[in-house]
Structures are given as structure tokens and as C-alpha cells.
Amino acid sequence: MKISMSSGLLALLLAGAPVHAQLGLAEAEQLALNNDPMTQALEAKAAAWRELSVASGQLPDPKLKLGLMNLPTDSFNRAQEPMTQLQVGVQQMFPRGRSLELRQQRDERSADVEDAKAREQRLKVLLAVRKDWLESYYWVRAGEVIRRHRVLFRQLVDITRSRYASGGKNQQDVVQAELELEMLSDRENQILTMEEKARAGLTRWIGADQAQQALPGSLPQLPAPAASSTIAEGLLSHPLMLSEQATVAVRQTAVALAREAYKPGWALDVSYGQREERADFLSAMVMLDLPLFTDKRQDRRLSASQQQFQAAMQSREMRLRELQQRLARQQAEWSRLGERVTRYQQTLLPQTRTNSEAAINAYQSDRGDFTMLMRARITELNTRLQALRLSVDRAKAQAELLYLGGEQR
């Protein structure tokens, strides 16, 4: 009796399974992008900064003055003294130097920071949902591999019992076959636990109901990543680096603003005084701020803004180095995993299948022992699981390269 799972048996098992809506990777990506609150929050912040930039570039509101001047207190008669007057005036403040222009630039660049963060958040969401989906896919498919091999191990138990009953083999083969079957059942429980954890991670992005949907039977094809040199050249245009660069620009504008604090601000005051039966008065006045004592205020603020600018420059350099290191690591992993996937598909999987079939033939013809047969079956099972793991891990590395390449949806 040759042990194998026929295509008819597999079709029968699949035909009896309930049909569920499937959650493809593309659908999961779109759901995650459409429902990510962080992206929406960052886009709202960017819009807020755009609105503030318009307000920041405007002059302060003028001040209106209304008053009664030089009213005699002995009679409270406006006509008694020639200096008594009703006065109305307007005062307009003018900020120091280019402060208005620089404040507007600062807020516009702050909006650029949030815009870049929103774009980078979309990339992070894509990467995260892809990894969680792929991890869920691995454990679902691993569970299917285990269940298919349980059928084969159950057949081994039946064979050993039959041969033991006929006196062909000893009882130890039966016990070992039953033990391996129970260990396989325990392994299936562990895989189910890991699948639940992976789907829990997917729930964060697309919701519990969608995360529990069935997954397709084949691994999806992600977009091909660009060449490593192309990705490396484009790292400065990655949204993460654009965010860092915009932050540097904000700090640079803050330094320029701090320098403007050394310049005087001024105000224009125009007043009109109306008198009873006498000539009216018109007054104009210019007022200046005098930044004479700068050591405790302007100097300190300029120094602080310069330090913040240097910190932003160093942060940008650190981010670039991190991305470069990440690219080198992921490119190497993706390439090596590709070689291993090819080796498993072309060599190891066919060899383990052939070895397993040879072991069962040898056992049935009394030319091999049961330990060799079980080792062959377990090796075939582990090889299939490892081949699946390598394919999923390579897809994850590919998702990382797409993130580093700044793929947008």
C-alpha cells in the first residue's frame, strides 16, 4: 500500500469547505490607507499650518482711539477752554524688519513638514499592512500543509497497526506513529495560535471583520522594486527625508526671525482733535522699539534657534544614514532569499518528496525501518514549511524595498 494524498481526495476535502469572501492583499492595502487616522490627522495639521501661514503674513489689526482731552473740571463745559477737544485716532503697528514675511515662510514650511509626514505615514501603513497580511498568509498556508500531512501520518498509523496485527512489525512502530501524529496535532494548535496573533495585527489596519476573512491560495505579486542604486539615489526624495529637510528649513527660518529681533519695530499714530468754535488739531506720531539690551533676550533666542537648527541638521543626517543602512540590509536579504527560494523549489522540495516515497516503498517491502520512514516524512513536512516561510520573508523584504523606494498609491 503506497501512502500518498491523491488529487481526488484533496479536491473532495476542498469541496466540503465553506466558501468565504476572500481578502486579497490589494484590498487590505486600500482599506488600511482609507481608514488610517494618523494620515488623516497629519493632513489636517498640514491644512491648519497653511491657514496659519496666511494669517501670519498680515499686519496686526489697527487700534482705534476715541477720547475727550483737556476737559475743565470746574464746569465740564467743552467751550470754556481752547484746548478741550474730542479726539479720534488710529494706531498701526509694524513688526520688526522682515518678521511678517519670515513668519509666513515658517508656517508654510511647517505645513511642508506635516505633508511629508502624511506621505511617509501612507508608506508606513502600506508596509505594515503588507507584513501583517503576509504573516497571516504564512500561518494560514502552514496550517493547510500540516492538515494535509496529518492525513498522511494518519495513514501511517493505520499501516503500522495493520502490519503489527499481521505480525509483520513490532508494537514500537505503532506507538511511534501515534506519537508523531499527536505531536503534529500539537504543532497545528501552535500554528492556529500564531495565525490568530497575525490576524490580530491585521485588525489594527482594516478592522476585525475584514481581518478574519479567508485569504487567497497563492502568494500575491508585489510591484517589482527598483534597482538598489536607483533607490539609493532617490533616498533624499523619500518622504521621511523630505520631512527632515522641511524641519531644517523651519529651523533656518527661525534663526532668521531671531536675527530680525535686533531691528526696531515701529508704530504710526494719527489722531484728529475736534474743538468748539476753534481750529481742529491733526497729530501724527511715530513710535519705535529700541532693542538696546539684547544679552538676556535677543542673544539668547538667537543662540537657541541656532542650536535647534544644528540639531535638525544632525537629525536629517542620522535619518539618511538609517535609510542607507536599511536599504543595504533589505537588498541583501531580498537577493539571498531569492536564491534560497529557487533552491527549495527546484531542488530540495523534489528531493524530499522523492526521498519520502522511497522510504515508504522500502518500509513496505521490509527493506527499511520505521524510524527512517518517519524522518523522511518529517523532513518533507519541514522542507515545505521552510519553503513557504522563505517565500513570505522574501515578499516582506520586497515590501521593505518598495517602502524605501517611496512607492506611492
Distance CA 260, CA 397 (A): 49
Question: What does the block give as the cell for 55?
Answer: 494669517
* E strand intervals along 184-274: 266-274
Say if residues 184 and 149 touch (Cβ distance below 8 Å). Answer: yes
For residue 194, count CB atoms less than 10 angstroms from its CB and return exposed for 0-12, middle for 13-18, buried for 19 or more. Answer: middle
Say if residues 138 and 194 touch (Cβ distance below 8 Å). Answer: no
> Quick one: pLDDT at residue 371?
79
> Quick one: pLDDT at residue 331?
96
Question: 63-69 and 85-94: which strand pairing?
Answer: antiparallel
- Reported pTM: 0.83
> Quick one: pLDDT at residue 63?
94
Q: At what angle do helices 298-343 and 239-260 cross, to 10 degrees?
A: 170
Say if residues 238 and 122 touch (Cβ distance below 8 Å). Answer: no
> Quick one: pLDDT at residue 407?
79
Conformational region of residue 19, where left means phi above 0, alpha means psi within -120 to 50, and beta covers everything else: beta
User: Which of 322, 330, 339 shows the shortest CA–CA distance to 401?
Assistant: 330
Direct distance between the N- and C-terminal alpha carbons of the chain, in angstroms, rounded to an integer: 55
Distance CA 119, CA 149 (A): 45
> Quick one: pLDDT at residue 155?
77
Residues of the chain predicted below pLDDT 50: 1-19, 409
Task: Write down the number of H helices and E strands in the chain.
Answer: 11, 4
> Quick one: pLDDT at residue 6?
37
Distance CA 120, CA 61 (A): 39
Q: What is the CATH number of domain 22-59+95-261+297-404?
A: 1.20.1600.10
Distance CA 370, CA 5 (A): 19
> Quick one: pLDDT at residue 278?
86
> Quick one: pLDDT at residue 20?
55
Domain boundaries, the chain: 22-59+95-261+297-404
For residue 360, count CB atoms less than 10 angstroms from its CB and return exposed for 0-12, middle for 13-18, buried for 19 or more. Answer: buried
In sequence order, what are the residues at sequence separation of 6 or more whose Cβ sits closer than 8 angstroms to the Cβ of residue 199?
136, 211, 212
